[in-house]
Structure 1
Amino acid sequence: MPSMLLLALLAAAAPLFARASEGIWGIAPCELCLWQRWPYWAAAALALAAALLPRGRRLLGGLAVLAVLGSGLVAGFHIGVEQGWWPSPLPGCQAPRALGGTGVEDMLRSLPAMPSKPCDAPTYLIPGLPLSMAAMNLLYALALAGLGLIFLRKGTTA
């Protein structure tokens, strides 16, 4: 399989796996979890463009690697939030507020538009393995970026 096409597939696999984990295992994502997915989609599009446009392969492939590292950067930040090293600035990362008001209408208005999970509550996919989903994403992003750099350095065909 051509290298940039493989990079595109592996980049798209990360957010697809995360979405599947929601349905299969009932894992609720927090706002930072959702932010980690967007750079993978950008990387998949850039790597696919690199596979289709050989003249722009190095530039587009390099941008795809940077996008993957962007997801890793968000994952690293997320790990810091999970560990309590710093708070998240995102309002959706805070624990849901207690419902207030006097009637049902007041309670419904106080609910967030989308159910949220606090970003400082790590999600562990594999019981007994002390790696949160954010930590696994960081490791995956670093490995995928390394693979992408190997592909670019070797200059394999797109």
Structure 2
Amino acid sequence: MSYLDRLTANQWIAIAAASSALMLAGAFVFQALGYAPCEMCLWQRWPHAAAVLIGGVALGLRQKVLAWLGALAAATTSAIGFFHSGVERKLWDGPSSCTGGGVADLSVDDLLAQINDAPLIRCDEIPWEMFGVTMANLNAVGSLGLAVIWVVAATRKG
């Protein structure tokens, strides 16, 4: 029997919730270092906050069935992260509120309005990357792993 086999559902829940808390903390550290979040970055934070809350409630009430909600929260932020990764890589368009739009058929007044309404932090630009991996990529893959941990917690006997 391995060490992981000996972990209880509550221990798995605690690991998953703590991991979401650490991912949120990491996002705030990057923000404190001057990497302002775009709109989609902020969207990715909310499910992590929900997962932390769900984990606390699940542990407090000893209701491992709530781990399914934690899995949903982690899967949601993972999906947003994968979508954001595609926007960053220009594989598809992001929301118009967060990315640049076309200018070919715009009047001068419409173009000026688009420039004035443009977000300061764009979702289709990569503010930080290491070895080709961006923050959105890290969230997408890491949160997918967290979703698996939540499912393990939900399905754990005992």
TM class by smaller structure: 0.7 to 0.9
After superposition, what is the alpha-carbon deviation per residue over 1:28-50, rounded to whole angstroms, capped at 9, x for unaligned? Answer: 21111111100000111111111
Q: 1:2 aligns with which of 2, 5, 11?
A: 11
Alignment correspondent of 2:41: 33
Greater relative CO (CA pairs within 8 A, separation 6+): 2
Alignment correspondent of 2:78: 72
Residue 89, structure 1, aligned to residue 95, structure 2: yes
C-alpha spacing 1:124/1:111, structure 2 compared with 1 (3 Å): same
- After alignment, is 147-156 or 116-125 more displaced? 147-156
Alignment correspondent of 2:64: 57
Deviation at 1:111, TM superposition (A): 7.2
Amino acid of the residue matched to residue 150 of structure 2? G
After superposition, what is the alpha-carbon deviation per residue over 1:93-151, rounded to whole angstroms, capped at 9, x for unaligned? Answer: 448xxxxxxxxxxxxxx577xx731111123343xx11111001111101111122222
Q: Is the 8 A contact 2:12 2:152 kept in 1?
A: no
Alignment correspondent of 2:56: 48
Q: Is the 8 A contact 1:12 1:41 kept in 2?
A: yes
TM-score (norm: length of structure 1): 0.76
C-alpha spacing 1:76/1:46, structure 2 compared with 1 (3 Å): same
Q: Is the 8 A contact 1:31 1:116 kept in 2?
A: no
TM-score (norm: length of structure 2): 0.76
Q: Between Structure 1 and Structure 2, how many residues are aligned?
A: 137
Q: Is the 8 A contact 1:30 1:93 kept in 2?
A: no
Alignment correspondent of 1:119: 123
The two structures, once aligned, show a CA RMSD in angstroms of 2.4
Deviation at 1:84, TM superposition (A): 1.1
Alignment correspondent of 1:106: none
Percent identical across equivalent pairs?
29
